[in-house]
Structure 1
């Protein structure tokens, strides 16, 4: 897919995801209206919806049709809820202390720190409500349980949460490359890989297909993180939608700080090539996944 084609695909799938989120998400009414309004603020303030789109694209590559999107959408929406919760908490004063996210004031700036924490908590738990339903999740119960476990592990203490804990504890330290790998594979890569794996499970993938897609996910997760590290140096606040230079000001070890800009770009490209190689067993229905891998390192925000 050429650049314009993948941009069209992303736009179309983003619209599909946002329509589903609008249908499935709690409404800001009744006694919990203020709390739900805070949840909805961050969920609908913007974003590329990369993780839910990866879920849909993986399902399509296995099922070899786009009709599987309707089956995968509740899973995709749950992934976006988890990702958004993580952003709310990452932005908090006790964490990264950011005032801008997706070009808008962060949740705690708008609603206060306590309500922001609770909005994140609400989105995380609502995600597992979505994942465990039997009225909207139309897949075999065994597959549903597998998906819940995959996502729970990726989001938890051995995945995204653990990676964030490492990120905080490593601030200002000269950590080795192996520690940087572990931190980012957990903080960023785990939920990306889970998005692909869960999409594959929705479509009834074979163990070999799941393994290939997990390898793809691991590599684009790495490429995504390196690209983020580069954007923090080379982008602008206007382009990125959040403050730039935050890694440097927090004295964080990043790929550019360890390897320099050019070697970091080469590492991101190598990860993309490994991701593309993992998709060799799949036909043209995996073309969106291939294009997404390239897009990840070419994006400007």
Structure 2
């Protein structure tokens, strides 16, 4: 059976294992390049934060988008690992007492609980900077201009105008009434930015044409919206045991979400509309898009 014909869950699991194994090698004790020494406790905290399971949806989207566009190269896995480092750093910092103050992540103690707050901050910082080291390496792509575009895209989607900015808006929204437009803005930044970039980066790696890149970038935008809507639904319909993290956090923090604004059924209806658009965007790619199409459906219907 070719990888393309395997069930989605099999492909997701295989990709997650590939990413974990690659990150484990990257997070060895041996210094790289200009590095002088890797402090063991900090390294252990980084490993705790990034090697603790998870579906690796963002790496999967990047690798599968690149594959759909004809790019199958070990560099795609490296770029995907860089993206996962940024995502994991954001989770470590989001869980801190100054942010969401969470003790559980993927069913395990969060980094600041397993170690301490200072080490958790440094572990997040180190994963973030490591991501750019990986992305800028010539082993990620043989063309310097492609690597430059990947680095710039990751920086813009992770920073003030993307994920970090979205987290700032989210914190500022707690306990106060905000508009639907403001909710959508913060969610598109906090959650959607890296998911959109995952798809756009796949097109960058494949050096896709403008039409192809526009289609997969829009697909990534839709996936980001769908992922957040599904997350908001799970927060109000699932238990902590089912989620592997604390359930009901949004309600407890009095955060405004589209679920709290429109209700469960209307949110599910919007999810269905988004997935229909996602499928139409991928239709021109034929059977090569089957995996990404199945991924869109999975994101909308997942249980954790």
TM-score range, shorter chain: over 0.9
Give the C-alpha shift of residue 192 in structure 1: 0.3
**1:28·1:37 contact (CA, 8 Å) conserved in 2?**
no
- Is 1:219 the counterpart of 2:222? The answer is yes
- Is 1:296 the counterpart of 2:293? The answer is no
Which residue of 5, 8, 26 maps to 2:7? 5
2:89 is matched with which residue? 85
1:20 is matched with which residue? 22
1:210 is matched with which residue? 213
DSSP 3-state at the match of 2:254:
coil
**2:29·2:38 contact (CA, 8 Å) conserved in 1?**
no
Work out which structure has the larger RCO, using CA pairs closer than 8 Å and 6 or more positions apart in sequence. 1
**1:193·1:217 contact (CA, 8 Å) conserved in 2?**
yes
DSSP 3-state at the match of 2:208:
coil
**1:163·1:183 contact (CA, 8 Å) conserved in 2?**
yes
2:266 is matched with which residue? 263
Give the C-alpha shift of residue 69 in structure 1: 4.3
Which residue of 242, 245, 262 maps to 1:242? 245
**1:229·1:254 contact (CA, 8 Å) conserved in 2?**
yes
2:42 is matched with which residue? 35
Q: Distance in 2 between matches of 1:15 and 1:69?
A: 17
Q: Which aligned pairs between 1:124-273 and structure 2 lie closer than 5 A?
A: 124-134=128-138, 136-273=139-276
TM-score (norm 1): 0.95
Give the C-alpha shift of residue 22 in structure 1: 2.0
Give the C-alpha shift of residue 24 in structure 1: 2.3
Post-superposition Cα deviations, 1:176-197, rounded to whole Å, max 9, x if no partner, equal 1100010000000000010111
Q: Distance in 2 between matches of 1:39 and 1:209?
A: 36
Give the C-alpha shift of residue 11 in structure 1: 1.1
1:109 is matched with which residue? 113
Give the C-alpha shift of residue 265 in structure 1: 0.6
Unaligned 5+ segments in structure 2 are 1-5, 32-36
Unaligned 5+ segments in structure 1 are none
Post-superposition Cα deviations, 1:241-282, rounded to whole Å, max 9, x if no partner, equal 001000000000011100000000111111111111111221
Q: Distance in 1 between matches of 2:24 and 2:206?
A: 24
DSSP 3-state at the match of 1:157:
coil
TM-score (norm 2): 0.94
| Residues 238-247 or 20-29, more deviating | 20-29
1:52 is matched with which residue? 59
Aligned length: 294
DSSP 3-state at the match of 1:279:
helix
Give the C-alpha shift of residue 25 in structure 1: 2.7
DSSP 3-state at the match of 2:191:
helix
Q: Distance in 2 between matches of 1:22 and 1:109?
A: 22
